[in-house]
């Protein structure tokens, strides 16, 4: 698969995770959602899961199981967030775009990681980690905007900009 295709999300939302509604799960017949943590569920430099995100998780869990897969190495932190989100299953130190822990997360959904065929959604804010690993595993990849704290100073997301530049360049535009 060409690089540009590996970095192409199946769905790009123009909002953060809260803009991902149940209709996406229903329309694409998703059987589970793998969620990125940092800047997808939890704002930059924040340890708190916003109340709205907890409510979102509660609503989504009525439709599909959720599993957190984070590149963050701090097991305690990711475990705490997973507890607040459900509790839901979690994997930390995943090294996305490495496939190993994402495959384990799919197995945790009682699904075969070799036969995903777009039946599992992966949600994240980064092309080179979340979308890339999702496409490598034939998942339904969903790119969201990073979640932020209202009124707080925002990071520049320079890596995200580099990723989009790379993506456009690979597409030949």
Residues that bind Mg ion (CB under 5 A): 36, 38-40, 125
Residue with smaller CB distance to Mg ion, 27 or 45: 45
Residue 37 beta carbon to Mg ion: minimum distance, rounded to whole angstroms? 7
Q: What is the DSSP letter of 19?
A: G
Residue with smaller CB distance to Mg ion, 52 or 114: 52
Q: Contact, 28 vs 121, CB < 8 A?
A: yes
Residue with smaller CB distance to Mg ion, 125 or 145: 125
Which segments of the chain are extended strands (E)? 11-12, 32-35, 66-69, 89-91, 120-124, 140-143
Residue 110 beta carbon to Mg ion: minimum distance, rounded to whole angstroms? 26
Helices within 72-138 (DSSP H only): 75-84, 100-108, 132-136
Residue 125 beta carbon to Mg ion: minimum distance, rounded to whole angstroms? 4
Residue located via tokens 């090294």: 95
Residue with smaller CB distance to Mg ion, 73 or 114: 73
Residue 112 beta carbon to Mg ion: minimum distance, rounded to whole angstroms? 26
């Amino acid at each position: 698969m060409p690089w540009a295709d590996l970095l192409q999300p199946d769905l790009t939302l123009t909002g953060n995770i809260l803009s991902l509604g149940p209709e996406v799960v229903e329309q694409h017949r998703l059987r589970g959602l793998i969620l990125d943590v940092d800047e997808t569920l939890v704002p930059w430099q924040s340890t708190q899961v916003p109340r709205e995100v907890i409510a979102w998780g509660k609503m989504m869990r009525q439709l599909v199981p959720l599993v957190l897969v984070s590149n963050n190495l701090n097991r305690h932190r990711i475990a705490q967030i997973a507890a607040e989100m459900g509790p839901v299953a979690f994997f930390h130190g995943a090294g996305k775009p490495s496939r190993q822990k994402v495959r384990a997360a799919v197995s945790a959904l009682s699904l075969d990681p070799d036969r995903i065929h777009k039946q599992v959604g992966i949600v994240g804010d980064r092309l080179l980690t979340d979308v890339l690993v999702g496409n490598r595993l034939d998942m339904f990849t969903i790119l969201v905007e990073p979640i932020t704290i209202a009124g707080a100073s925002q990071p520049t997301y320079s890596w995200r900009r580099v990723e989009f530049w790379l993506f456009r360049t690979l597409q030949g535009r």
